[in-house]
């Protein structure tokens, strides 16, 4: 199984919010798109991650296990990127742009 991290990130939101509509509002994604992505993640993992009902999406046992591991991965990702310099810290100095006279005058 090689799940797409973006699908797992969306899974985290659906699991935390308990449904596609609430997660879609936070992520600014259409609930139908989220539904397709959750189906793709379930197909990739080969197991049902949610029990779907009119009341929302409830995690299955497999979904609960994935949630714990996905949250650990999310924490690790945040820690890994927290120490990286921001764009304002890493870019300094002058910028020079060269262009032919005709292009520069235009």
Q: Check which CATH number belongs to the domain holding 77 and give it.
A: 1.10.10.10
pLDDT category, 8, cuts 50, 70, 90? very high
Establish if 95 belongs to a structural domain. Answer: no
In a domain, 13, yes or no: yes
Considering the entire predicted model, what is its pTM?
A: 0.75
Determine the Cα–Cα distance for residues 70 and 57; give it in Å rounded to an integer: 17
Q: Which domain holds residue 67?
A: 5-81
In a domain, 67, yes or no: yes
64 in a structural domain? yes
34-62 pLDDT, tens digit each:
999 999 999 999 999 999 999 999 999 99
Structural domain count of the chain:
1
Q: Is the pLDDT of residue 73 over 70?
A: yes
Do the domain assignments include residue 102? no
Strands 56-59 and 50-53: antiparallel
71, 21, 52, 61: CA torsion to nearest 10: 10
């Amino acid at each position: 199984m090689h799940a797409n991290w973006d699908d797992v990130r969306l899974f985290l939101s659906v699991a935390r919010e308990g449904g596609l509509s609430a997660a879609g509002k936070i992520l600014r994604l259409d609930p139908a798109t989220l539904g397709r992505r959750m189906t793709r993640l379930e197909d990739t993992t080969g197991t049902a991650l949610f029990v779907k009902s009119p009341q929302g999406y409830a995690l299955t046992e497999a979904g609960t296990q994935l949630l714990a591991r996905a949250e650990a991965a999310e924490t690790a990702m945040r820690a890994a990127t927290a120490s990286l310099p921001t764009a304002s810290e890493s870019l300094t100095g002058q910028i020079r742009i060269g262009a032919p006279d005709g292009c520069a005058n235009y």
